[in-house]
Structure 1
Amino acid sequence: MLSTVHPPFYFLAAILFISAAFASESNHKYQPDDPLVLWVNKVGPFNNPQETYNYYSLPFCHPSGDAAHKWGGLGEVLGGNQLIDSQIGIKFQKPVDKATICEIELNEAQATQFKDAIDRAYWFEFFMDDLPIWGFVGEVRPKIKGDDQHMLYTHKSITVKYNKNQIIEVRLALQNPKPLEVGRTLDMTYSVRWIPTNISFARRFDVYLDYFFFESRVHWFSIFNSLTMMFLAGLVSMILMRTLRNDYAKYAKEDDDLETPGSNLCERDASEESGWKLVHGDVFRTPISLALLSALVGTGSQLAMLVLLVILFAIVGMLYIRRGAIVTTVIVCHAFTSFISGYVSGGMYSRHGGKKWIETMILTASLFPFMCFGIGFISNAVAIFYGSLAAIPFRAMVTVFIIWAFISFPLALLGTVIGRKWSGAPKNPCRVKTIPRPIPEKKWYLKPSVVSMMGGLLPFGSIFIEIYFVFISFWNYKLYYTYGFMLLVFLILMIVTVCVTIVGTYFLLNAENYHWQWTSFCSAASTAVYVYLYSIYYYSVKTQMSGFFQTSFYFGYTLMFCLGLGILCGAIGYLGSNLFVRRIYRNIKCD
């Protein structure tokens, strides 16, 4: 149905999305008796938020002729919205006592459809003047004898509050339930009541915000918890800095005692050195799979900037009040921050002497988008099989691909070229030896795999309560609006991640293991592993989701989120460890 309203030139539409993402609230004004459109959107089981279908997939009163469709943008389509004009006659400030929408003469198939929907607690969503309205299809009334009776709500009582010439609030009450019996004729009716109010237009979305839930003591406790984790990470970092000062004093004393004219301080006998200084000749060795690591670090840097920009735009522009605005902003910001991924990846690859920069650039530009595409393709196939609105239309896919091909990819190429040119020649504090030094066996807790898995515990501890609020908003029916909390938690996450990764890198180098690059990345990225494990607990304990459709969507999109979080944290951890390693080896004497 959306094909009737999609513009023919999707690249032009993609450009228009940019302005739509940052537009202010629409100031809708009406005169008395101006017609209003009640848009019907979707219907689906209450416990499965993503399992939604066209409202008219149930045998409700269909509008006559070719009803108008409303398409609000790319984000709205990707969010599974499909607004259709209900053709219910509503005029501004004109009350309706009771009017008939249509009459439904129930046949066996229609009665069965409604009964199945009521058994699964189907809810529906309407919109009037961009304000959402929700309601249930019907209810089940137990009988003293015999089977339970399924009741369908046949009357929609709409109450509209207005301030002068603007609509402030719309409420829906469902009344007059009738039993579903084959051959029975149901009179579907509606009424409209208008109530003046002094609430300003700018505050009309306040009624949808759950202040008690999001600004509760638990949410403030999450901030305190995150600050505590940051304090612990800072305390460990201070201890590490004191240990480093002792190491410097020790190495300086050894240099003074053992230095003789013409001697090479970095080629002394191994028995005279210990700890992290012993691997100075290998610590700057080119890591394995340099192209992949460069692409991951570049992509993670881009995602960090993307998250920061989206949070700031959400704070300034209150994007939560517009359907699909957050999704549109994410797509647009991701396209325009691709320069950062190319710049960081190209510079890192060039500094390590990489030669296949074109392959690295392509990997950087396509790694995360194609991972998301793969997960989305599987989820989309499931949605198409179920006939759900969650299925992404083909033209929306083409639009996203055009944005990637004509904006994201060229910017990644430009960033890679500039990053290669400005990176300069590799300048390592210590010369890399020709023959790699063997890595001695250490205790189990100093192995890279253990260091990597332990590195994500503190960062996860700093965000897991905020993750709960995010999950509640996305997988349930809460409207997330506390982006100030999210900004603070995100900054704390970055600080804790850097501190913990640096400590892990120090322990690894002190164990004479110089493979710190991938270990530092994986140590920070393991935060996403704990988030995914938490998502399994959340699904099992905190939700009532069921069925293959909702389960595949939940774990598929949660996997997509965790992959992005892992790459983001991994890049931040690697960059912090890289600065740390270069700083400590710059302050020792070596050739």
Structure 2
Amino acid sequence: MGRFTWTRLTAAVTILATVATTASAFYLPGVAPHDYVDTENVLVMVNALTPSSESELKSVIPYDYYHEQLHFCQPEHPKAQPESLGSILFGDRIWDSPMKLCQAKVPGRDALFINDRIRENYAINWLVDGLPAAHARRGSDGQTIYSMGFPLGSMDGGKPRLNNHYEITMSYHYNQKLEVYRIVGITVIPRSIAKPTADKPACGFDQLATAEPVILNEAGETEVTYTYSVKWESSDTEWATRWDKYLLVGEPKIHWFSLVNSIIIVLFLTGMVAMILLRALHKDISRYNQQEAQEDIQEDFGWKLVHGDVFRAPSYPMLLSIIVGNGTQLFLMSAVTIVFAALGFLSPSNRGSLATVMVVFYMFFGIVAGFVSARLYKMFGGEAWKRNVVGTAFLFPALIFGAFLGLNFFLIGAQSSAAVPFGTMVGVVALWFLVSTPLSVIGSYLGFQRAKIENPVRANQIPRQIPDQVFYLKPIPSMLIGGVLPFGAIFIELYFILNSIWFHKIYYVFGFLFLVFGILVLTCAEVTILMCYFHLCAEDYHWWWRAFFTSGASAFYIFGYSVIYYFSTLQIRSFTSMVLFFGWTAIMSIMFFMLSGAIGFFSTFAFVRKIYGSIKID
């Protein structure tokens, strides 16, 4: 039982789960092919059950395949497979599996648990040679769509039916030159059959679709027999293209519409900024310099009026320098990760590679955070350099880690497989203290050792009084106005990203994401410069914090959009799932706030230094 040999017509497989975590030095991690020979066993793995649906999502809590209340067939001593850091953080829990004919007795309490998971559209996840088992269905355009995983059960007249029979189709490609076989596809059709007949071999059941289904009794015990059948199919699909059917981009026209929409916004902003820079600013600078050359003393006007205050140190310079440093760290992490992904270095077969690379780059760019924070704090005239070093290394990471730890307790309470193990948590803390923190301290040391940044204009001793501002130039309205444009440039792509995160789909259109990210950078820079010019002309010189908040305010729109997404797309009712959704959304919004705020700050900083360095001031 549980072992069947490879032939080109029919075969039997021992489904023992394993992970191919080693790769040849000549291949990128996770993309080295496994060559099978005739009669060699094919190794298959089981992963955590995840909520999955094409239309509505009712939960965000994954469960271990061998969760005690699910009663799946399991080996006597299940072995967990080694996984990457990113795979663990994203909730993957991969085990070996015997996949054999077995019977399980499900008590009423566990039947209720399983039925609730069926009502919430949970999916079973298997892997063969790193390839997820897929459930094929027809799309609205008649094209076959392959979704990762296959349903745990289905609803029939309001009653949950447990799928206990799996019709497995293995697709393989035969390489005549090397005389080896390679797995290029696996699809599963799950069925619910209450009384399977055993007059045929265990791997050859031929049940009718009209058979009586498995209905779990929530008031008593139910005996369930798990069976499977396997069919082998020769395929012309080569190993290098076996992921293509998983990576088909749904509705590519919408992605192009998103890109065109973003480009239009950028062109509009670029036109306005160019008009200001080439016309208004050029005229202003010419007039200011002409007046300076004249003997008659004339009163200043426009943005030149605040030249003695524009480089005055902001309120809370310590905090501003810290968050700008951490925002720069996040920006570089995101930019480099997207470039690597767009170039194809992050293979989807290497599970968790995207998250792992993000964590690694974030840790290494701690040196940039320390350097930027120190340089800014020294420019602001700060003297408490020790507090700056400690704050840069610990303030923002501690906030994110604390939120992450709090959400992990909710996952532990729900007995979810996504709960990060203690050992992994210790590893994350070790990376923070042994890699990120020392690099941040080194960056701070290098930053404080450099000469102080000299501004083109000295600040007056007595601050100038700021006149009353019109409504749209007041702090909160101006920030909200500035934040809506960067959000407008990315909100369509944001929808696809949210779908891939919460519906457990593969997001692989990194070419689009690279272009949208570039457009986001330009939009944040231009809208912040534009708003800063308006404020300076209105004699408001408090631009340091406002530059950060103007572009960073797009994060508030992202969180608001996520709230709309929650109520319009998701059907979540459990308190734990709701806390997890809004908790992770808040963390992502805060990180985006820091990232986009740093873009706006540095672009405005360069703009202000440029224009005040272009005029003659005594």
Q: CA deviation at 1:309?
A: 1.0
SS in 2 for 1:416: helix
Answer with 165-174 or 353-362: which moved more.
Answer: 353-362
Residue of structure 1 aligned with 2:289, choices 248, 252, 263: 252
Higher helix share: 1
Normalised by the length of structure 2, the TM-score is: 0.84
Q: Post-superposition shift, 1:345?
A: 1.2
**Residue 480 of structure 2 aligns with which residue?**
453
Select the residue among 350, 353, 358 that pairs with 2:381: 353
State the TM-score, normalized to the length of structure 1.
0.88
Match of 2:140 in 1: none
Gap change, CA 1:51 and 1:256, over 3 Å in 2: same
Aligned to 1:560: 587
| Ranges of 4+ aligned residues in structure 1 off by more than 4 Å | 19-22, 181-184
| Distance verdict in 2 for CA 1:380–1:508, change over 3 Å | same
Matched with 1:95 is none
After TM superposition, the structure 1 stretch with the greater mean CA deviation from structure 2, 45-54 or 537-546, is 45-54
Task: For 1:231-270, list aligned pairs within 5 A.
Answer: 231-241=267-277, 242-259=279-296
The equivalent residue for 1:78 is: 89
1:193 maps to which of 231, 236, 254: 231
1:37 aligns with 2:52: no
Tell me which moved more, 538-547 or 324-333.
538-547
Cα 1:151–1:426 shift into 2, 3 Å: closer
Distance 1:414 1:171 in 2: 52
Q: Which residue of 1 aligns with 2:310?
A: 283
Does the CA-based 8 Å contact 1:226-1:462 persist in structure 2? yes
Match of 2:182 in 1: 166
8 Å CA contact retained: 2:65, 2:72: no
1:462 equivalent among 489, 509, 516: 489
* Partner in structure 2 of residue 9 of structure 1: none
Closer, same or farther in 2 for the Cα pair 1:192/1:299, shift >3 Å? Answer: same
Aligned to 2:210: none
Please list, as runs of the form range in 1=range in 2, the aligned pairs for 1:49-198 lying within 5 A after superposition. 50-57=60-67, 58-88=69-99, 101-133=101-133, 134-142=149-157, 148-164=158-174, 165-178=181-194, 179-180=214-215, 181=217, 182=220, 185-198=223-236
Q: CA deviation at 1:236?
A: 1.1
For 1:59 and 1:487, the matched residues in 2 are separated by: 41
Q: 1:21 to 1:514 in 2, by over 3 A?
A: farther
Matches within 5 A, 1:213-228: 213=251, 216-228=252-264
**Structure 1 vs Structure 2: percent identity of aligned residues?**
33
- Per-residue deviation, 1:154: 2.1
Task: Report the number of matched residues.
Answer: 546
Give the structure 1 partner of residue 14 of structure 2.
none
SS of residue matched to 1:69: coil
CA distance in 2, matches of 1:117, 1:404: 36
Q: Name 1:5's counterpart in structure 2.
A: none
- Match of residue 11 from structure 1: none
CA displacement at 1:408 relative to structure 2 = 0.8
Aligned-residue Cα RMSD (Å) equals 2.2
Cα distance in 2, alignment partners of residues 448 and 105 from structure 1: 64
2:245 is equivalent to residue 207 of structure 1? yes
Q: Which amino acid aligns with 1:202?
A: A
Q: Which residue of 2 aligns with 1:576?
A: 603
- How far 1:311 moved relative to its partner? 0.8
- Map 1:4-15 → 2, pairs under 5 A: none
Distance 2:473 2:156 in 1: 63
Cα shift at 1:250 = 2.5
- Which SS does the other structure have where 2:381 is aligned? coil
Q: Which residue of 2 aligns with 1:476?
A: 503
The superposition leaves residues 136-174 of structure 1 with CA deviations (integer Å, 9 ceiling, x where unpaired) of: 2222322xxxxx544322211111111122111111111
**Cα distance in 2 for residues equivalent to 1:129 and 1:240:** 58
SS at match of 2:125: strand
Q: Say whether residues 1:386 and 2:392 are aligned partners.
A: no
What displacement does 1:225 show? 0.7
Q: CA deviation at 1:36?
A: 2.7
* Equivalent residue, structure 2, for 1:545: 572
The 1:445–1:140 alpha-carbon spacing in structure 2 relative to 1, beyond 3 Å, is closer
Which residue number corresponds to residue 337 of structure 2?
A: 310
Q: Deviations over 1:239-269 (max 9, x none)?
A: 2111111212322333244447xxxxxxx7x
- 1:21, 1:329 within 8 Å by CA — same for their partners in 2? no
1:338 — aligned with what?
Answer: 366
**3-state SS of 2:416 partner:** coil
Instruction: Give the unaligned 5+ runs of structure 1.
Output: 1-15, 89-99, 143-147, 261-267
- Structure 1, 29-38 or 457-466: larger mean CA deviation: 29-38
